[in-house]
Structure 1
C-alpha cells in the first residue's frame, strides 16, 4: 500500500507548513500529493505552486469539481500540468453536492452520473488529440448549436505529453463507485472502512464487468483519504477527528441529500448520523461533534499509539485500497511513513 499526501482544504488562508510537507513527502518517496477545492481556494493553483519544487511525486487533484469548469477547460488544465510536471499529473474529478453545485456554481445538479460519463468522455477525446472534438450529449454539445452559430470543432493546439492522462473519480454511492470502475483509472473514496470492503468490492466488480471497462481490480487504483494520527491517548486523538466527521455528516449537504452521511450510516451508525445531523443543522455544532462515537472514528481512521496503528494496518492493507492519503505537518508524515514502511 502506497502513501499519498493530501494537503486538504484551505480555511481563511493557505494552511501553514504545507510547502515543507510536500517537499518532505517527495523526499520520503510518497507516491502522490493531492489538493482540494470547495468554494474557496482552487485545486490547480496550489498544486502547480507547491508541485513545482518536487521531482518525483505525482501531482493530483482530490477533487477538481466538474461544475467549476467545462470538460474542455478541465482537459486544458490537465494537459498543461502534465507537461509542466513531466507526466506526473493525475486528474481527480468529482461531482460535489447539490448545495455547492447549484448554490456556488449556479449549475444544475440532477443526474450526476450521466453528466460525469459525458464529462470524462470529452476530456479523453481532447487529450487523445486524434481529431477535432465533436460531441452530442444530453448535457454537453460541442460545438454549441446556438449562439452566433459560428462554432466549429477544434482540437488542442498543444500536443499532450501523453495520449491518456489518468482520471480518478470521487464516489461514495455504489452506482457511482461502479461508474468509476467502468470509465476511470482510479477511485477516490472518503470515509472508507475495512468493514465496508466487501460492499465496495461488489460495486467495483459491477463496473469492471461493463463492456469497454478500462481496467480490472488488478490494475485499478484506489486512493483513500484516511486520517492517521499517532497519539498516545486514543480519546484525545479521536477528539481531533470528530469535528471533521461531524461537519461532513451534519453540515455537508441538506437533510435527505447528504452522501457523506449515507456512507457513515452504512457502517452501522444510522441513529448516530441522525443525531449528529439534527444537532448540526440546528446550529448546535459542539454537541454534534461530541455525538461522534470513538468507535466510528476508529472505523474510518487510524488513531492512537504507534503500536496500536501498526497492529491495525494489516486490516487496511487487505482491502481494495492501493494508496493511503494522509494529512499533517512534516513531523506527522515522517511518523506515518515510518509506520507504513
Structure 2
C-alpha cells in the first residue's frame, strides 16, 4: 500500500502549513502529493509551488476540472510540469458538475463521457507529438471551424518536445459508466468516496472497461488512488462529529437538489434515506442538523477512525479490495509520521 498526501483546494485563505506537510511526506516515504480545485484556488499553481521543493514525490491533480481548460491548454500545463519535475506528474481529471461547469466556467455540461474521451485523445496527441493535433469534435474541434471562424486556424504540434510521450491520466469517476470508461482509457481511478464493502461492484464496472477493445490496462497494471479519511484517535466520537459536516456538504449541498453526483455515490452504497434527510435539512439552511443525522456507520463506509491497531487492520482491508494508494489528509507532521509507520 502506498500513501498520497491530498492537499485539496483552499478555503477562504491559503493554508499555512502545506510546505511542512509536503516536506514530511517526502521524508516519510509517501508516494505522491495531490492538489485539487473547485471555484477558488486552482490545482496547478500550488502543485508547482510545493512540488518545486521535492525530489521524489509524484505530483498529481485530484482533480483538474476539464471545463476549466481546453484539452490543448491542459496538455501544455501537464507537459511543462512534467519537464520541471523530471517526469513525476500525474494528470488527474474530472468533469465536475453542471452547476460549476455552466455556472462558473460558462461551458455546456452535456455528454460528459463523450467529452472526456475526446479531451483525453487530444491531450495524448499533444504528448505523442507525431503529427499536428486535430480533432473532428463535436466537443473540441481542432482547428476550430464554427460559424464565426476566420478560416485561418492551423493544426499545430507543440513547440516543446514532451519529456514523456504518454503521461499518466487518472480520472475522478463516480458513476458506473464513467468508472468503466476510466478502466478503458485511463491509467488510474481517483474515487472520492470509496468503500471496500463495494469492491466486487467496483470491480465489475472496472472489468467492463478492461474488456473493451483497445483498453490500456489490466487490473494488474491499473492504479486505484482512493481518498481515505484516516483519523488516528482514542476518541472516535469527536472524530465522527468533525467528519460529518464535510459529508453533509457533499451529500446535501453540492450540485443541485436533483443533480448531485456525490449524493448518488452514497445512494449506491445503500444510504438513500440518509441522503434524502441530509439534503432536505441542508438545503433548508439547517446544516448542523444535517450533519447530526448522519450515522457513524455511514462515516465508516469511506473513512477509517480509531486507534493504531484498528487503522492498521482497515488499511489491509482497503488494500485487499484493490486500492493501490490511499490519499490521506493529515493535518500535522506528526500525523504523517504515524500514518507512514502504519503502512510499513
TM bucket (normalised to shorter chain) is: over 0.9
Aligned to 2:135: 135
Indicate whether 1:156 and 2:155 are aligned. no
Aligned to 1:325: 327
Indicate whether 1:53 and 2:53 are aligned. yes
Residues in 1 aligned to 2:128 and 2:325: alpha-carbon distance in whole angstroms: 27
Residues in 2 aligned to 1:310 and 1:215: alpha-carbon distance in whole angstroms: 29
Deviation of 1:286 after TM superposition, in Å, equals 0.5
Question: What SS does the corresponding residue of 1:7 show, helix, strand or coil?
Answer: strand
Indicate whether 1:261 and 2:263 are aligned. yes
Kept in 1, the 8 Å contact 2:9–2:42? The answer is no
Normalization by structure 1: what TM-score? 0.98
Residues in 2 aligned to 1:310 and 1:248: alpha-carbon distance in whole angstroms: 27
Residues in 2 aligned to 1:336 and 1:14: alpha-carbon distance in whole angstroms: 24
Structure 2 unaligned segments of length 5 or more: list them: none
Aligned to 2:341: 338
- 1:158-307 correspondence runs (5 A): 158-307=160-309
Residues in 2 aligned to 1:333 and 1:273: alpha-carbon distance in whole angstroms: 32
Residues in 2 aligned to 1:52 and 1:28: alpha-carbon distance in whole angstroms: 18
Kept in 1, the 8 Å contact 2:250–2:263? The answer is yes
Residues in 2 aligned to 1:8 and 1:303: alpha-carbon distance in whole angstroms: 20
Residues in 2 aligned to 1:314 and 1:55: alpha-carbon distance in whole angstroms: 28
Question: What SS does the corresponding residue of 2:231 show, helix, strand or coil?
Answer: strand
Aligned to 1:66: 66
Kept in 2, the 8 Å contact 1:17–1:330? The answer is no
Indicate whether 1:5 and 2:5 are aligned. yes
Deviation of 1:313 after TM superposition, in Å, equals 2.3
Deviation of 1:311 after TM superposition, in Å, equals 2.5
Deviates more, 1:76-85 or 1:24-33: 24-33
Normalization by structure 2: what TM-score? 0.98
- 1:23-102 correspondence runs (5 A): 23-102=23-102
Residues in 2 aligned to 1:182 and 1:317: alpha-carbon distance in whole angstroms: 22
Question: What SS does the corresponding residue of 2:8 show, helix, strand or coil?
Answer: coil
Kept in 1, the 8 Å contact 2:23–2:54? The answer is yes
Kept in 2, the 8 Å contact 1:135–1:143? The answer is yes
Residues in 2 aligned to 1:48 and 1:142: alpha-carbon distance in whole angstroms: 28
Residues in 1 aligned to 2:281 and 2:9: alpha-carbon distance in whole angstroms: 24
Deviation of 1:206 after TM superposition, in Å, equals 0.2
Deviates more, 1:134-143 or 1:43-52: 134-143
Deviates more, 1:8-17 or 1:214-223: 8-17
Residues in 1 aligned to 2:64 and 2:180: alpha-carbon distance in whole angstroms: 20
1:10-55 Cα offsets, whole Å, 9 max, x none, are: 0012122111101110111111100000000000000000000000
Residues in 2 aligned to 1:244 and 1:185: alpha-carbon distance in whole angstroms: 29
Structure 1 unaligned segments of length 5 or more: list them: none
Residues in 2 aligned to 1:243 and 1:156: alpha-carbon distance in whole angstroms: 45
Residues in 2 aligned to 1:134 and 1:313: alpha-carbon distance in whole angstroms: 44
